[in-house]
Structure 1
Amino acid sequence: MADEVLITNEGGVRIITLNRPDRLNALNGAIMAPLADACADAARDASVGCVVVTGAGRGFCAGGDLKDGGGDKAVVPANPESGSRAEQSFVRLRGFMETARLLHEMPKPTIAMVNGPVAGAGIGIAGACDLRFAARSASFLTAFDKIGAGGDFGSTWFWTKILGTGVARELFLLGEKLSGEEAFAKGIYTRLFDDEVLQAETLKAAHRLADGPRMGFRYMKQNLNNAEDWSFEAQFDAEALNMGLSTQATAMIWREARKAGEDKGG
């Protein structure tokens, strides 16, 4: 994995760290591809029970790195193979945005450990996670209005779902920077901690999730994701099915663990 993305394993917890601290972990081509790869690997690795995403240094993610062309340097003049510049930009960005899709859809809990400022595409990454634990020094800024952009990395979808359309429109259209306390009060951050205990508290929760009933969490997250769009009746059907699947899977795991313990003791 590239140096721009650091991977750490602590038991069943996978920590993915954006590592461009000199640029507040702003996204460019060198970081977005390995970040998407890291999320894909975490999603398919059965040893991982919980994923934590954070930033190196004093920030989480400042969004796209405009000084580096926003990560779009690979776009070349129109050609028959890859199409117009607009088409090339779409394909590149959509591929990079898999990071947010994977964090939202992978069948295991994900936590954004927001250790400082988050803006632009960074709010999409944070919003994609199931939980957002933030330091008091964290801030929140949509920032897309500053560059005349519509929003990416799922930011408009996630924050409309999390906060409701009224608050989401306020955040995106007015583009006002929120302090950690203000963001917590609006429901943007799940928990708010003093900076010096953020990592310890986040990892405490992450290990609790990783050591918990993984099949239960898998189907619980599926239910919660379904509830964002499904009809009432379809959601009831899915809950009934997933309840049986999760409890049977958990019971089987416990039986196997008990049997293994008995065999070892014998």
Structure 2
Amino acid sequence: MSDEVLIENQGGVRIITMNRPDRLNALTGSIMAPLADACADAARDASVGCVIVTGAGRGFCAGGDLKDGGSSRDIVPANSESGSRTEQGFARLRGFMETSRLLHEMPKPSIAMVNGPVAGAGIGIAGACDLRFAGESATFLTAFDRIGAGGDFGSTWFWTKIVGTGVARELFLLGEKLTAQQAFSKGLYTRLLADDDLRAVTLAAAHRLADGPRMGFRYMKANLNNAEDWAFEAALDQEALNMSLSTQAASAIWKTSQKKDD
């Protein structure tokens, strides 16, 4: 794993830290590729019950690092094997954006620990997580309008789902920088905490989730994701099935624990 993405395990909690503090953890290929790999590993690792994503130093993620070429550094002139520069850029960026898909779809809770400024692609990563715990020094900025960009890392999709189309359009089109309190009042952050308390409170919540009914959370998250797009009747059918599957799993775990106690 790259030294620009740090991995820490605390019991069943996996902490993934973007580690470019001198650049507010701005994203380059050297951090985006291992970040996606780290999320994929956390998703498939059965020992992990909850995932925290955060940034090193005084910020969460400032978005793409334009000074370092963003996601286009390795794109070469058009050729028959890789296609046009546009095709190459799409394939490269889409691969990096697996980070957001994995955080959203992995069958375990994910938490963004927002320890300072979050902007651009960073708001996509934060929005992909199930919960967002923010410190008082956190700020929120879409920033895409400042570079003439439409948005990436699922940002327009996640924030439309989280806060509704009206607020999402305000955030993206006006591009105003929000304080932590302003962001919290709009529903962007799940919890707003003193900076000194952020890590401890986030870890406490993560351990509570990791130590809880993992199969129950797995199916609960599946239901919540289905509710974002599915028609009601289809979601209702799947909810009934997932209820049966989750309670059956919980019963099996309880019976196993009882046998061990006997």
Do they superpose with TM above 0.5?
yes
Give the match for residue 96 of structure 1. 96
Aligned to 1:3: 3
Specify the alignment match of 1:29 in structure 2. Answer: 29
1:146 match: 146
Q: State the AA in 1 paired with 2:125.
A: I
Please list, as runs of the form range in 1=range in 2, the aligned pairs for 1:1-266 lying within 5 A after superposition.
Answer: 1-262=1-262
Give the counterpart letter for 1:27 in structure 2.
L
CA distance in structure 1 between the aligned counterparts of 2:35 and 2:187, rounded to whole angstroms: 26
TM-score (norm 2): 0.99
Structure 1 CA distance, aligned partners of 2:193 and 2:168? 24
What do you get for the CA RMSD once the two structures are aligned? Answer: 0.4
Q: CA deviation at 1:71?
A: 2.6
In 1, the alpha carbon distance for the partners of 2:221 and 2:91 equals 28
Residue 101 of structure 1: how far off its partner (Å): 0.1
What is the CA distance between 1:261 and its match in structure 2?
2.5
Secondary structure at the counterpart of residue 69 of structure 2: helix
Deviations 1:140-159 (A, max 9, x none): 00000000000000000000
Letter in 1 for 2:208: R
Quote the Cα distance in structure 2 between the aligned partners of 1:261 and 1:154. Answer: 46
Give the match's secondary structure for 1:138. Answer: coil
Corresponding letter in the other structure for 1:209: L
Unaligned runs of 5+ in 1: none
Runs of 4+ in 1 over 6 A off after TM superposition: none
CA distance in 2, matches of 1:34, 1:144: 24
**Per-residue deviation at 1:23?**
0.3
CA distance in 1, matches of 2:261, 2:108: 26
Task: Give the letter for the 1:253 counterpart.
Answer: I
Instruction: Give deviations 1:76-106, integer Å, cap 9, x for gaps.
Output: 0000000000000000000000000000000
**Where in structure 2 are there 5+ consecutive unaligned residues?**
none
**Alignment TM-score, normalising by the size of structure 1:** 0.98
The number of residue pairs the alignment matches comes to 262
Task: Give the conservation status (yes or no) of the 8 Å contact 2:71–2:89.
Answer: no
* Matches of 1:49 and 1:29, distance apart in 2: 28
Question: How far off is 1:260 after superposition?
Answer: 1.7
SS of match in other structure, 2:68: helix
SS in 2 for 1:222: helix
The answer on whether the counterparts of 2:33 and 2:96 sit within 8 Å (CA) in structure 1 is yes
Equivalent position amino acid for 2:67 in 1 = K
